[in-house]
Chains A and B, each alone.
Chain A
Amino acid sequence: MQTTTAPAAADATPLLEARNVSKYFGAVVAIEGVSLTVRAGQINCLLGDNGAGKSTLIKMLSGVHAPDDGTLAVDGQPVRFSAPRDALDAGIATVYQDLSVMPLMSISRNFFLGNEPTKGFTPFKRFDSDTAARIAREEMKNIGIEVRDTDQLVGTLSGGERQTLAIARAEYFGARVLILDEPTSALGVKESAIVLRHAISARNKGLGVIFITHNVQHALPIGDSFTILTRGRSGGTFKRGELNADELHRLMGGGSELEELQADLEILAKREALGEGTPTVPIGEANPGDVFNETESL
C-alpha cells in the first residue's frame, strides 16, 4: 500500500469526476445535469434528503448504472464503466451502508471476498486461509480494531466495525477513491465517530473520499467541499467554511421544515414549563397536534 503523504493541491487533476451526468428511469428524472469532483486528499460530502438522487449518482460512479447523459472521468480521462468490476479496477471502491459485508461469513473471508489469496498449483489451487487471516488481522489493527479470531463471523461485529472492515478492505486493495454511502445513518454516536475518523484518515493517506449523507452534523466537521442534491438536480458545490449548518439544511430543502419544527418544540417546552398541561390544539401546520398528545401521555 502506498500511503505516502499526499497533500494534494486543490487544483490537481481530479481523481474522479462526474460531468453533467443524468439518469432517467422511465419518466422519472433520477439525476439531471449533476457534476461532482473529488481530488486526492479531499473529502467531498454529497448531501441531500432522502430521494434526492444520492444513491443513483453513486451507482453511476461505482459502475452499477451507466449514465444516460454526461460523462465520468478518472484522472481527467473520460471512462465508461460497464460493471462494478471496472470501477474497482480504476481504484474506485464503494462502501454501501448495509450491503458491503456478509454477516454470516468470517472476518477474513469477508475481507478477501472476490480477491482471495491462493496457494498451490492450478488444479489444486486453494484459498490461503493463513495469509488471509494474517492480513485481515493486520489491516483491521491498522485501522483500530483488534480482532482476536478472524474466523469470527462478521455478524458478531457492531455496525461501525462492519463499516470499518469494508473501509479497511477497500484501502488494502488499492482504492484511490473511497465512496462511503450513508456510512453513519444506522449507527450510534460513538460508532459514527469511529467511521468519521476513518474517513479522515483515508483522506490523510491521500485518498479521495466521497461521503454521502443527509446528516449535516456529520458532514460539516470532515468535509473539504460539499455538493448538494435536491430532487435530482445539483444545488451547488461549496468549499469548507462557505456555509454553516443552517444554510446547508436550507439548501437541502429541509431548512424551513426544521425551523418550523424547532419553533413548535419551543412552544411546547414553554407550556410544559408553565404547567399548562397537554396542549389540545394543533401546533404549527406541518405537525398535527395529536402526535404531541400521544407522546405526552406516555
Chain B
Amino acid sequence: MAMTQTSGAASPAPPSDRLRRTSLASRLLGRPSAGALLITVFVWIVFAILSTIAGSGVFYSLDGTLSYLDVAAQVGIVGTAVALLMIGGEFDLSIGSLIGFAGIVIGICVTTYGLPVWAGILISLVLTTILGVINGFIVVRTGLPSFIVTLATLFIIRGATQALTAQITQITYIPIAPEKIAADPIAGFFNWSIGNFKVSILWWILLAAIGVYILGRTKFGNWITGVGGSPSAARNLGVPVNRVKIMLFAGTAFSAAILAAVQSMTFFSADVLRGQGYELRAITTAVIGGCLLTGGYGSVAGAAIGALALGMAQIGIVFANINADWYLVALGTLLLVAVVLNNWIRRRFAGLR
C-alpha cells in the first residue's frame, strides 16, 4: 500500500530495454545439466591422475571405462525416472525395496512356480508398476508429502518381500538356473554382453534418451515441469496433475523392475535385500544433474551424467588403490560440491531473480 499515489492508466509501457545479448558459453551454462557435466569432467580428471599415481592407469583404459560405465548404468537405469519424478515435485524412497521385490517376483515365478523366465520378467514388470501406481495414488489422494508416503511403502514393500519370500521359499536368496536363463528368448535383453561391455549400459542410455525426449519434446514433459513448478497453477491451467504424478510414480517403479531384471539375469539369482540404498543414490544423481528438491526444474541428461560421476567415483577409488570405505566420503563431497555449483550456475547464468 505504499505506492498508490501516482499510478494511473495513462502512463505508457516502457520498452523492454533490460535484455542483453548473452554469449553461447553462458547460454550453455544456463542449461540445468551444465553443473553435472563440469563435475563429471572434474571427477574423471581427479581419478585419472590418482590412478596414474597409483601406477596402474587402469581407470582410463577401455576395461576401466567399461567397469565404471556398468556401475553408472545400474544407478542410471533408475536415475532417469527418479529425475522426472523429482522435476514433477515428488520423491520415491521406495525404489530400493521395489528393486528387491521385482527381483524376487522373477525368482519365485521361475523357481517355485516353474514359469518361463520371460513370463517371470513380464509379471514382475506389471506387479512392480502397479505398486508404483499405488504409491502415486496414495500421494495424490492423501496430499501427504511423497517423502513420507514412500518412506512408509519402502518399509512395507521390503518387509513384505522378506516375509512372503521366507514363507514361500524358506530362503531369502533364490538362485535361478543359468541354463533356463540361457534358453530364454528375452533374458538376453537383460544380460547380453560383449567382453566387459554390458547391456545395462544400453538400457541406461535408452532410458535416458526416452526421458530426455519426454521431458523436452512432449506435451507430457511440459506438464511434468508445470506440475512440479506449481501444482495449483498447473491445475488451474487444465493440466491433469494427479494423473501426471501417478504416471511418474509408475515410471520409477517400472525402471526399478527393469534394473531388477538386469540384475537377476546377470547374477542368475534374486535376493530380498537387493536394491538397498538405490533410492538415495538415484536422488543423488538427479540432484547432481541439476534437479531441485522443490521440483519444477531439472534435467534428465544431467541425471544420466550424474550417474556417470557416481560410477567413476565408486570404481575410481578402487583403481586408485584407496580403501573403498572412502567411497561414501567421496560421494557426499561430490553431492555437496555439485549442489553448490548448480545453485551458483542457476543464479549466474539462468538470470533468475
Contact = CB atoms under 8 A, between A and B. Distances in A.
The finding on whether chains A and B are genuine partners in a shared complex, rather than unrelated, reads: yes
Interface of A: 62, 64, 84-85, 88, 94, 96, 99-105, 109, 112-116, 118, 125-127, 129, 144-149, 152-153, 155-156, 158, 161, 184, 188-190, 192-194, 196-197, 200, 215-218, 221-222
Interface residues of B, number: 43
Contact of A102 (B19, B225, B350): B225
Interface string B288-321: 0000100011000000000000000000000000
Given A103-B229, A125-B219, A193 B236 contact: no
B233 interface: yes
B229 A114 contact: no
B229 A102 contact: yes
Interface of B: 1, 3-9, 11, 13-16, 18-19, 21, 213, 216-219, 221-223, 225-226, 229-230, 232-239, 292, 296-297, 350-353
Contact of B14 (A99, A127, A190, A192): A190
Given A109-B225, A127-B217, A148-B19, A217 B5 contact: yes
Given A196-B9, A222-B9, A105 B229 contact: yes
A94 B236 contact: yes
B296 A153 contact: no
For the residues of B in contact with A, the DSSP-based class is loop
Given A129-B217, A158-B353, A215-B1, 14 more contacts: A88-B237, A99-B232, A99-B233, A99-B236, A102-B226, A102-B234, A102-B296, A104-B229, A113-B234, A118-B219, A145-B13, A147-B16, A190-B11, A193-B13
A141 to B, nearest CB: 10
Contact of A155 (B16, B223, B233, B350): B350
A104 B236 contact: no
A188 B238 contact: no
Contacts of A126: 213, 217-218
A102 B69 CA distance: 36
B350 A127 contact: no
A99 B233 CA distance: 5
A188 B3 CA distance: 7
Given A85-B238, A194-B13, A196-B9, A155 B352 contact: yes
Contacts of A145: 13, 16
B3 to A, nearest CB: 5
Contacts of A99: 230, 232-233, 236
Contacts of B222: 105, 109, 112-113, 116, 127
The 4 closest A-B pairs by CB, nearest first: A102-B229, A114-B237, A104-B297, A155-B352
A123 to B, nearest CB: 11
B3 A156 contact: no
Contacts of B351: 152-153, 155-156
Nearest to B19: A148
19 contacts: A84-B236, A84-B237, A99-B233, A102-B226, A109-B225, A109-B226, A113-B222, A113-B237, A114-B238, A125-B218, A127-B219, A147-B16, A152-B19, A152-B351, A153-B351, A156-B351, A188-B3, A196-B9, A221-B9
A36 to B, nearest CB: 20
A96 B5 contact: no
B233 A100 contact: yes
A125 B234 CA distance: 21
B235 A193 contact: no
A173 to B, nearest CB: 9
Given A102-B296, A127-B218, A153 B3 contact: no
B236 A100 contact: yes
Given A146-B16, A156-B353, A218 B7 contact: yes
Contacts of A105: 222, 225-226, 229, 296
A160 to B, nearest CB: 9
A197 B9 contact: yes
Contacts of B235: 84
